[in-house]
Amino acid sequence: MFNYTETNQVSNVSMEENERINLLSTVANISLEEEERINLLSTGIPVLAFLAFLCFLGTFGNGLTVIVYAIRFKPSIYRTFILWLGSVDLVACSVSIPYVIYDSTHPFTFTSEWSCRIFVFINFVFSMYSPLLLDVIAIERYRRICKPTDRQLTRAEARLISGLMGLIVVLCCSPFLAMYGITSVTTPFNNLQGHECNVVEEYRASLFETIYFALLFAVYVILFVLCIVFYSLIGRKLMKSERFRRATKAAKRIRRQQSMRQIERLQQKSVKFAPEEHPEPLVKQSETPTDENKVENEPTVSAESEISITSVSGTCELQPNYTSDDVLGYQNSAHNHQPYQQNTVLNGIEQISGKALAPIVATTVPPESPAKHDTLNGNNNADNMKMDMKINAKTESNKQTDVVQNTSVKKKSVKRFVDYRVSKKKVSQLISKSKRVTMMFLVVSVLSFGGYLPYFVHVIMRNVDDDMRRNVASAFGSIGPIMRYSFFINNAVNPVVYGFMDRHFRNQFKRMIKKCRGHRMDFT
């Protein structure tokens, strides 16, 4: 009986002890949750607002960037880098920032070991990938602008390099899987013991952590300096090109003005020294030679048979029924009709017209019958008409050929002029696009490296003197906790830069919005 009663007393004591332990645990849990609420109200709201804004802006902006560049842009190296950068930033804003928001709202009750390590690893991988890829983009812009004659990257090589940069970042960030975990932390208000995701005690303030973060900071400085150097060289080259272009325009304008002045001087001289025009009197063809033009010993020519005399190879040819205007047509048709040559000797090889005749020695004309004379006249007239038709046809064909040739020459000259203007316009457009893209990536790089600077300052101060870091954080108020997550800025602001500095991106976005509105109206 005693033993039974004693056993009951012992069991009652053990039950009371368990209840007391459970009550203490419940009070402790409530106290930790209350501690988290107090911490959130005191310094956590600005951090949450900052992270929520970056999450919304980065998720929406990077998603829109990936869609627009993947659908509306032509394949290019520029598009390849933007897609890689936008995809990484999209994952960072849609996965990493929500985890950080949860960690910030549960700073003392986070107990998942592998979730802590995996998400910290993802955060650093996707946050450190952007600066490295931006340096690759800076090198590519330098080669394209300052070394245009060298071999340039292709789209396949750009994709390969982007993948290799991702692999390098994964290898460099792999120590975070071992360094981070669940650690004990003392609450600042009630001095309670909680748990947080942070560097474990084994690596905190150790030589490995110091060297590792020092190497990361050195890599950050090297990448930042390289980015500044390459973009400085690009800016110098663009300034030289701009000065050369302006000097060329000024020289062309001066040469154009000088040529116009020279043309004006020549026109003034031509007007000043132009000879006076005196119209010559027209001579009628029916006018007969005067007595002054007649020559002694001129042979008698009947009215029915007019004789035209020409000098060919030292002989005098008598051509019946031919006037002086038909000599050219007769010479062309001489191979068809052999004229009657007289054994007449001239005093030299001279051109004898029908009006002024040189002395003729022993000229005799054989008698001709009227029938033969009429037949010869008919044949000669027919031949002359045929020759005239051939000459006229040839002249018309030559004129048409000249017109066609002139038209083709004009078309070719106009086409060359238009091609020159188009090529010149394309070159100017390419130059302006290159400047715009370079300036856009420069702004993105500055924002990216500027966002990492407060985080590295926070890490250095924590490793050197954690008390000093706490004092600085308390002095800055809510800005101190924001410094821990400032590296997310480079993941969220890139779409804003694209929207403000890429006109083609804005235009394509507007077109997509119009199409979506049109489809919605059709569906309604």
Name which residue leads in pLDDT, 422 or 454. Answer: 454
pLDDT category at 167 given cuts 50, 70, 90 is very high
Rounded Cα distance between 199 and 205, Å, is 9
Q: In this predicted structure, what is the pLDDT of residue 446?
A: 84
Q: In this predicted structure, what is the pLDDT of residue 516?
A: 76
Name which residue leads in pLDDT, 17 or 263. Answer: 263
Name which residue leads in pLDDT, 302 or 445. Answer: 445
Cα 519 from chain centre: 32
Average pLDDT value for residue range 97-106? 87
Asked if residue 96 lies in contact with residue 122, where contact means CB atoms within 8 angstroms, the answer is yes
Rounded Cα distance between 399 and 390, Å, is 14
Name which residue leads in pLDDT, 23 or 475. Answer: 475
Q: Strand runs (DSSP E) across 279-351, as ranges?
A: 307-312, 315-320
Confidence check: pLDDT of 132 > 70: yes
Per-residue pLDDT reduced to its tens digit, 133-152? 988 988 988 888 888 888 88
| Helices 77-91 and 45-72, axial angle in degrees (round to 10) | 150
Task: Identify the helix (H) or strand (E) that includes residue 193.
Answer: strand 193-199
Q: In this predicted structure, what is the pLDDT of residue 87?
A: 92
pLDDT category at 30 given cuts 50, 70, 90 is low
Confidence check: pLDDT of 156 > 50: yes
The domain locations on the chain are 16-252+425-523, 298-359
State which amino acid sits at residue 141. R
Q: In this predicted structure, what is the pLDDT of residue 435?
A: 76
Q: Does the domain at residues 16-252+425-523 carry the CATH identifier 3.40.190.10?
A: no
Rounded Cα distance between 197 and 484, Å, is 13
Name which residue leads in pLDDT, 452 or 294. Answer: 452
Rounded Cα distance between 320 and 330, Å, is 11
Query: Is pTM, for the whole model, over 0.95?
Result: no
Q: In this predicted structure, what is the pLDDT of residue 271?
A: 67
Q: In this predicted structure, what is the pLDDT of residue 394?
A: 59
pLDDT over 90 percentage in the chain: 8
Per-residue pLDDT reduced to its tens digit, 209-219? 888 988 988 88
Average pLDDT value for residue range 445-465? 77
Asked if residue 269 lies in contact with residue 262, where contact means CB atoms within 8 angstroms, the answer is no
Asked if residue 51 lies in contact with residue 488, where contact means CB atoms within 8 angstroms, the answer is yes
Instruction: Give me the residue label for tokens 């947080």.
Output: 196
Helix, coil or strand: residue 366: coil
Rounded Cα distance between 232 and 415, Å, is 41
Confidence check: pLDDT of 453 > 60: yes
- Among 511, 455, 460, 521, CA closest to 486: 455
Sequence-distant (≥ 6) Cβ neighbours of residue 216 within 8 angstroms: 128, 172, 456
Average pLDDT value for residue range 346-353? 41
Asked if residue 458 lies in contact with residue 216, where contact means CB atoms within 8 angstroms, the answer is no
Sign of CA dihedral 127, 132, 133, 137: positive
Sign of CA dihedral 193, 198, 202, 208: negative
Q: In this predicted structure, what is the pLDDT of residue 47?
A: 85
- Among 442, 492, 524, 432, CA closest to 64: 492
- The full length of the chain comes to 524
- Among 377, 359, 362, CA closest to 304: 377
Per-residue pLDDT reduced to its tens digit, 46-88? 888 889 999 999 999 999 999 988 988 888 888 899 999 999 9
Confidence check: pLDDT of 354 > 70: no
Asked if residue 417 lies in contact with residue 213, where contact means CB atoms within 8 angstroms, the answer is no
pLDDT category at 6 given cuts 50, 70, 90 is very low
Per-residue pLDDT reduced to its tens digit, 289-319? 444 444 444 444 444 444 333 333 343 344 4
